[in-house]
Amino acid sequence: MSIRGVWQLKNLRLSFCKIGGSSRGIRELILAPIEQFKKDNPQLNVEIRNRNGHHPYVRGEYLTGYTKTISVRNKSVKEIMEVIKFLRSSNGGKSFLWTRVK
């Protein structure tokens, strides 16, 4: 999200395991779709990090100093892209979960 024309997300870190089954979606994402995302968002620093033996996650670091980490364990490429777009469109504040009162 941009506030007054300034994008709030400054760094995006994709962390995954090269051999783990829960990282399959993020490994497929790294092959092609993430390159197009980098071209579409030149203001964003995308870091791809290998962590063997750990489950995959996506971490966003904002100008406010706040970070959001979301696990993408056993998710498809489409679901991971939704998580990345969610982080990009967030403003760097704390996330709230809204529930309905029955």
Q: Write out the chain's pLDDT in tens, 102 residues.
A: 666 778 899 999 999 999 999 999 999 999 888 999 999 999 999 999 999 999 999 999 999 899 999 999 999 999 999 999 999 988 877 766 667 776
The whole-number pLDDT of residue 97 equals 64
Strand ordering across the sheet containing 57-62: 45-50, 9-16, 57-62, 67-71
3-state secondary structure of 68: strand
pTM of the predicted protein model: 0.84
